[in-house]
Amino acid sequence: MARMKFLCDAERCIECNGCVTACKSEHDIPWGVNRRRVVTLNDGVPGEKSISVACMHCSDAPCMAVCPVDCFYQTSEGIVLHDKDLCIGCGYCFYACPFGAPQFPQDGAFGLRGKMDKCTFCAGGPEADNSEAEYKKYGRNRLAEGKLPACAEMCSTKALLGGDADVISDIYRNRVMKRGKGSEVWGWGTAYGKPDAKPATPPGAKS
Amino acid sequence: MSRPFLCERLMPVVGILVALVFSPIVHAADAGRAQEQAQRQQTQPGNNAPMWRDVRGGVKQTTQVRGVETNVLMQPSGQSWREVRPPMSLAGGLLIAAALLALFAFYQWRGPIGVHEAGTGKLIKRFSDAERLTHWTVAISVCILAVTGLILSFGKYMLLPIIGYTLFSWLAMFAKNLHNFVAPVFFFMLPVMIVLFVRDNLPGPGDLKWLLTFGGMFSKSGHETPSGRFNMGEKALFWFMVCALGVVLCLSGAVMLFPNFDQGRQIMQSANIVHVISALVMIFAASFHIYLGTVGQRGAYEGMRTGYVDETWAKEHHQLWYDQVKAGHARQHFADDAPDAVRAQVADGLKA
Ligand code: HEM
Ligand code: SF4
Ligand code: SF4
């Protein structure tokens, strides 16, 4: 069984916000709500990096644990979805989520929260696949159409990968090998020394 | 307990309160390791450890998407909040359950506390209309806030399995909206209550003796320790429940109620924790007050309901105050003009 995950390659993301736009148009998301966003780390400083982030569909999801009406469910592919008919807009999932994924359309006075909205991994909600009701509440169900998430498909540099964990981690692993050093994956320099110390196996060499 | 230790213990509490008041200021503390990252690129190109450390620490960065904290890639405190809340709610729930059990046991043993002599039919106007209006507005709103709040805290475990998802979601939505709209009533009546009642809740003669004997509550036949208009138990509840917990509940609730002031998640998580603790302790304390104000003591409920008490009740439960009323030194007076319906009600309340 596939386990769906997102992976964003910080060495590739160029902060074009294409994924954000793709997501918004694919699902016809209302004003003020962005299911995906790009965060630039150390903007303007040499070595700045950008990362696209949305719901990561956590294994032990904090949102699911804290929801007072228990409206979340995890599909057999590991995708974390929720039922907007049950949601009461308390904001607890937003407090708990590490990635700021849950969003709230403002509903009336006092900043009252409406029903929570978040990335569905393009997998819709509890309604019948590709039904009108599902589209209205959760956006398009691309997975039911046999497609992958729109953001990752649209990514111009293929920094953002979305799909079966085994497949996308293989792609990423290959990239790291091809880049040769491997030290750009965080922590490696500290753990394995500076890159000018020659690696045991030269990059690209057949072993 | 040594002083530095006490300070250490109190610091987080003080910190949370200060943070609640000055929530926008906390943002200024977000420094970050941008320079360290830039230097690291010189010595170890591709080693992004300083940057990832910032990410783990929830440092503010840059984004094109507008909104509160959209520039924070990861917030670490949500996980702590998630872990802290359930055991805390459980402890509070057990505390309340223990209080209810203790009160039930006390009732079985002692029964309603009555008066030793029959009522004389001579009435004292104990509470003014303003006092009663304030008391009942606060009391009813606290009851609504408590029940709706408890539904949000424990409904998932205690009601949802019984009534199912659809019905419970409807109930929780109703509870949330009721909680959010009754909260302002509480918010505005609380200061009024403090102003109206503070005078007779200041320390006075007899307080210490009342405290040491616990009002004589635990002796079945004995008389109550003499007290002023309010006894030490009532005073303690006034200061602790109304002035301390009430204010803290209002402040922490407001932080969660108005997410549109751009306060970050950390401040709302802290507010939630403070709110849950104070709410559960408030419900715990209120259950004793409600017990004595209803089934626990004859004549008390009618006093607040009508504003009048029988002189026998006053002599029995607040002797020092009764002496003052008799001497004409109190602000409350004998009321010979009380309507007959009220007289009947007050007399009824004292009957065993
Ligand atoms: C005696 C008074 C009150 C009691 C007993 C009470 C009790 C509670 C409880 C038990 C919860 C659930 C907490 C959780 O499980 O996380 C809660 C949530 C909440 N309370 Fe209160 N509360 C009181 C007053 C207030 C006031 C005065 C305000 C606002 C000014 C307020 C605003 C909130 C908010 C915003 C929530 C979060 C849930 C939601 O959005 O509905 N509360 N309260
Ligand atoms: S909403 Fe947040 S906590 Fe929930 S699965 Fe998505 S990333 Fe994880
Ligand atoms: S906002 Fe909705 S989905 Fe989020 S915790 Fe509250 S009820 Fe659950």
CA distances from A144 to A78, A130, A153 (A): 15, 7, 16
Determine the pLDDT at residue B57. Answer: 87
**Could you say which DSSP state residue A59 is in?**
T
Contact between residue B160 and residue B171 where contact means Cβ atoms under 8 Å apart: no
- State the average pLDDT for chain B: 88
**A52 burial type by CB count under 10 A (0-12 exposed, 13-18 middle, 19+ buried):** buried
Take residue A10 and report the two structure tokens written for it: 């910080």
* Stretch B249-256: mean pLDDT: 95
> What pLDDT band is residue A194 in, cutting at 50, 70 and 90?
low
Chain A contact set for B38 (CB, 8 A): 42, 45-47
Q: Rounded to whole angstroms, how far apart are CA atoms B141 and B102?
A: 25
Q: How far is the CA of A62 from the centre of ligand 3 (A)?
A: 11
Whether B47 sits inside 8 A of A190 (CB atoms) is: yes
Half-sphere exposure of residue B224: CA atoms within 13 angstroms, side-chain side? 24
- pLDDT tens for A14-71 read 999 999 999 999 999 887 899 999 999 999 888 789 999 999 999 889 999 999 999 9
Say which residues have a Cβ less than 8 Å from residue B249's Cβ, sequence separation at least 6.
B186, B275, B278, B279, B282
Whether A95 sits inside 8 A of B155 (CB atoms) is: no
Cβ–Cβ contact B60 with A under 8 A: no
* Stretch B11-15: mean pLDDT: 51
Distance of CA A138 to the CA centre of its chain: 16
Q: Rounded to whole angstroms, how far apart are CA atoms B162 and A88?
A: 19
Q: Rounded to whole angstroms, how far apart are CA atoms B330 and B314?
A: 13
- B287, B286, B303: which is closest to B119 by C-alpha? B303
Which residue's CA is minimally distant from atom 8 of ligand 3? Answer: A67
Say which residues have a Cβ less than 8 Å from residue B94's Cβ, sequence separation at least 6.
none
Contact between residue B180 and residue B257 where contact means Cβ atoms under 8 Å apart: yes
Determine the pLDDT at residue B270. Answer: 95
Determine the pLDDT at residue A189. Answer: 46
Share of chain A above pLDDT 70, in %: 84
The fold adopted by the segment(s) A4-177 is Alpha-Beta Plaits (3.30.70)
Query: Which sign, positive or negative, has the C-alpha torsion B263, B267, B268, B271?
Result: negative
pTM of the model: 0.86
Q: Which of B30, B62, B72, B274 to mutate to test the interface with A (most CBs of A within 10 A)?
A: B62
Is the pLDDT reported for residue B16 higher than 70?
no
Share of chain A above pLDDT 90, in %: 66
- B236, B237, B274: which is closest to B252 by C-alpha? B274
Please spell the DSSP secondary structure of B277-324, one letter per residue.
HHHHHHHHHHHHHHHHHTTTBTTHHHHHHHSEEEHHHHHHH-HHHHHH
> What pLDDT band is residue B325 in, cutting at 50, 70 and 90?
very high
Is the pLDDT reported for residue B326 higher than 70?
yes
Proportion of chain B in helix, strand, coil states, percent, rounded to 5: 70, 5, 25
Determine the pLDDT at residue A135. Answer: 96
- A15, A8, A16, A20: which is closest to A43 by C-alpha? A15
Q: Rounded to whole angstroms, how far apart are CA atoms A83 and A63?
A: 13
Contact between residue A80 and residue A64 where contact means Cβ atoms under 8 Å apart: yes
Q: How far is the CA of A164 from the centre of ligand 3 (A)?
A: 27
> What pLDDT band is residue A188 in, cutting at 50, 70 and 90?
very low
B120 versus A207: the higher-pLDDT residue is B120
Say which residues have a Cβ less than 8 Å from residue B245's Cβ, sequence separation at least 6.
B278, B281, B282, B285
Is the pLDDT reported for residue B115 higher than 90?
no
Contact between residue B342 and residue B306 where contact means Cβ atoms under 8 Å apart: yes
Determine the pLDDT at residue A195. Answer: 52
**Segment among A75-84, B99-108, B254-263 with least mean pLDDT:** B254-263
* Stretch B148-161: mean pLDDT: 96
Q: Maximum Cα–Cα distance for chain A, whole Å?
A: 66
**B318 burial type by CB count under 10 A (0-12 exposed, 13-18 middle, 19+ buried):** buried
**Could you say which DSSP state residue B74 is in?**
-
Q: Rounded to whole angstroms, how far apart are CA atoms B103 and B112?
A: 11
* Stretch A64-91: mean pLDDT: 96
Distance of CA B43 to the CA centre of its chain: 57
Determine the pLDDT at residue B285. Answer: 95
Contact between residue B70 and residue B63 where contact means Cβ atoms under 8 Å apart: yes
* Stretch B253-266: mean pLDDT: 87
Say which residues have a Cβ less than 8 Å from residue A7's Cβ, sequence separation at least 6.
A160, A161, A162, A168, A169, A172
Chain A contact set for B164 (CB, 8 A): none
Q: Scan for tokens 């209302």, then name that residue.
A: A30
* Residues, chain A: 207
Is the pLDDT reported for residue A199 higher than 60?
no
B263 versus B12: the higher-pLDDT residue is B263
Is the pLDDT reported for residue B25 higher than 70?
no
Instruction: Identify the bridge partners of residue A82 per DSSP, sorted by sequence position.
Output: A72
Instruction: Identify the bridge partners of residue B125 per DSSP, sorted by sequence position.
Output: B308
Which residue's CA is minimally distant from atom 6 of ligand 2? Answer: A55
Cβ count near B215 (within 10 Å): 22
**A1 burial type by CB count under 10 A (0-12 exposed, 13-18 middle, 19+ buried):** exposed
- Report ipTM for this prediction: 0.83
Q: Which of A17, A39, A83, A87 to mutate to test the interface with B (most CBs of B within 10 A)?
A: A39
Q: How far is the CA of A80 from the centre of ligand 2 (A)?
A: 7
Q: Rounded to whole angstroms, how far apart are CA atoms B91 and A4?
A: 38
Half-sphere exposure of residue B71: CA atoms within 13 angstroms, side-chain side? 14
Cβ count near A166 (within 10 Å): 10
> What pLDDT band is residue A109 in, cutting at 50, 70 and 90?
low
Cβ count near B187 (within 10 Å): 18
Is the pLDDT reported for residue B263 higher than 50?
yes
Take residue A95 and report the two structure tokens written for it: 């407090």
> What pLDDT band is residue B48 in, cutting at 50, 70 and 90?
confident
Q: Does the C-beta of A105 come closer than 6 Å to ligand 3?
A: no
- State the average pLDDT for chain A: 86
